[in-house]
Amino acid sequence: MWIAEFARRGGVKPTTVRHYVREGLLTPKAGLAGGSRPYLEFTDTDLRLLNAIQAGQSVGMSLREIQTLVAERRSGNGKGKMLRALVSQRDKLRRRGIELHTMLSFLDQKIAWLEAGASGPAPALRHATSS
């Protein structure tokens, strides 16, 4: 499939696809259909890889991290590294979740304090400690 159909099926813009190709995340075949200008030919395998890239981004991984995992996977050594990367990302998200919970709790206390007339000592932000 050509880039427009690939982008449509993947739910991204063609410019995003071209960016992923430039970064080496996607490696479509270059065909010469219709003239001398090379066209990018994508397969269903490329579409699955695009979905994996999007999944990685949705859990907060950078394109560089995803690119490293894609390269490892292509070399046949990716399962162990992928597992370690996913566990690390999960742990980062858990720590971030604790931080967000702490901030939300502070905001709730501050709002309640303001709604009650701001009398008494103002709530203080207590930083979460991760274990």
Q: Residue 112: which pLDDT band, with cuts at 50, 70 and 90?
A: very high
Q: For residue 23, report the phi and psi dihedrals to the nearest 5 degrees.
A: -80, -5
Domain ranges of the chain: 1-62, 77-131
Q: Supply 42's token pair.
A: 């994508």
CATH topology of domain 1-62: Multidrug-efflux Transporter Regulator; Chain: A; Domain 2 (1.10.1660)
Q: Give the tens place of pLDDT for each residue, 58-75.
A: 999 999 989 888 888 778
Q: Residue 105: which pLDDT band, with cuts at 50, 70 and 90?
A: very high
What pLDDT score does 51 carry?
95
Q: Where are the alpha helices (DSSP H) in 25-77?
A: 44-58, 63-75
d(CA 32, CA 116): 71
